[in-house]
Amino acid sequence: MEKLELNIKNICVPVIYEYDNTLPLVSFKLVFKVAGSIQNKKPGLASMCAELLGEGTKKLGVNEFNKRLDERAVYLNISAGFETFVIEIDCLKEHFEFALDSLKELLEDPNYTEETLEKLKAQTLGTIAANASDFDYQAKIELNKILFEGSNLADPSIGTKSSVELINLEDIRDFISSNLDISNLFLVLGGDVRFDLAHFINLLEPLNLGKKRELEKITTSSAKQKKIIKKDSEQAYVYFGAPFNVSSQQKFMANVAMFILGSSGFGSRFMEEIRVKRGLAYSVYIRNSLNLSNTSAMGYLQTKNESKDEAVKVVLSELEKFVKFGVTSKELDAAKNFLLGSEPLSKETLFKRLDIAQNDYYMGYELGEFDKNLEKIKNLELKTLNDFILSHKEILDQSFAIITNEI
């Protein structure tokens, strides 16, 4: 794995690259930074832009455009996250040039038609309507409103009924033109293909140069709010979260700590105390969410309506014990054995290695940070980990969003 550079009109575009001829396959991504939902002027806009780019070119239309890709087994995926907008191509080596040419056509001539937009709106509004009865989804959205009030992260990524209805073609043109630009782009390339400068200079011609954007920092609320929403539900859906102010140097310790506490499934502290010993939950977890724009520790449990209050009390009690007393040497050893033992599976394919390298680069690390973190985990001492846990009392400032059939 190596980091190369592509110069486009005096703008340096980084390229994360690995040559691998084990199979005649190519994987390629355009990753636009500060270009996802964080840039929404209307909730759901970034998601709608990704959907529209999946509708082929205006000249060919969605059916003919996708037919040409399907005939050559070219996989094209376009997605809008919160911080990034990603266009991905996977294909056979022999069809890579065709895939790049097709992508250039798409970037030059998106399917900007009212008919396409109305179709996508109808599909999105249908999904929003279906989500109204998805209590897991609704509870998570309510938690985001508490934790990230006043930011785009408080809005559903898909948008709301009212916001989707207000999106027009001009909004989409402006978003794509303004956010899918060269100044905020890096590429990820791997497989049985040699890096060819000319290929990518040609591909990127339709994009504006733009200006480098800074990522907005979003503060996670420590208000310890509890919002209860009454629905005709057979169970209680409990989502909870708090700030987790972890530096980039501490991230490996945060991963170990949360693995032990609640992200490792059966055997985790939460699962043992809440489900196995007390029978209070069908499922329960807590996980890190350590992004460039925001950081938090967020969890979930599902329980009987009449058990929700007791389950919440146990969550808070276990968090207090965790911060005060830390973990045991037995728990740390078990976590190390699993995390280090699963490392070969994490890098067994080219696609997984590219994903790891993409994440390392995006988070601001040097390539190879994944392996360095494994070494840090291997050498992590119990006192160091417990001192880290004790220093993060902010995870006790939990807020709750609960959907239940009783108040």
pLDDT 10s digits, 243-257: 999 999 999 999 999
Cβ–Cβ < 8 Å for 6, 186: no
Predicted pLDDT of residue 199: 80
pLDDT tens-digit profile of 64-73?
999 999 999 9
Give backbone dihedrals phi and psi of 367, rounded to 5 degrees, phi first: -60, 135
pLDDT category at 263 given cuts 50, 70, 90 is confident
Work out the average pLDDT over 191-210. Answer: 89
Helical packing angle, 251-258 and 369-378, nearest 10°: 60
Q: Residue 23: name the closest of 188, 192, 194, 195 by CA.
A: 192
Q: Return d(Cα 349, Cα 334) in angstroms, integer.
A: 26
Hey, do 2-205 and 226-404 end up sharing a CATH topology, with the first three levels equal? yes
According to CATH, the topology of domain 226-404 is Cytochrome Bc1 Complex; Chain A, domain 1 (3.30.830)
Would you say residue 345 has pLDDT above 80? Answer: no
pLDDT category at 407 given cuts 50, 70, 90 is low
Work out the average pLDDT over 22-40. Answer: 96
Top-tier CATH class for 2-205: alpha beta
Would you say residue 198 has pLDDT above 90? Answer: no
Work out the average pLDDT over 322-350. Answer: 90
For residue 253, the Cα-to-chain-centroid distance in whole angstroms is: 20
Q: Residue 180: name the closest of 363, 10, 13, 294 by CA.
A: 13
Work out the average pLDDT over 33-58. Answer: 97
Q: Return d(Cα 268, Cα 261) in angstroms, integer.
A: 5
Predicted pLDDT of residue 390: 97
Residue 300 β-bridge partners: 239, 285
Would you say residue 145 has pLDDT above 90? Answer: yes
Q: Which two tokens stand for residue 188?
A: 């990820």
Percent of the chain with pLDDT over 70: 100
Give backbone dihedrals phi and psi of 102, rounded to 5 degrees, phi first: -65, -40
What are the extents of the domains in the chain? 2-205, 226-404
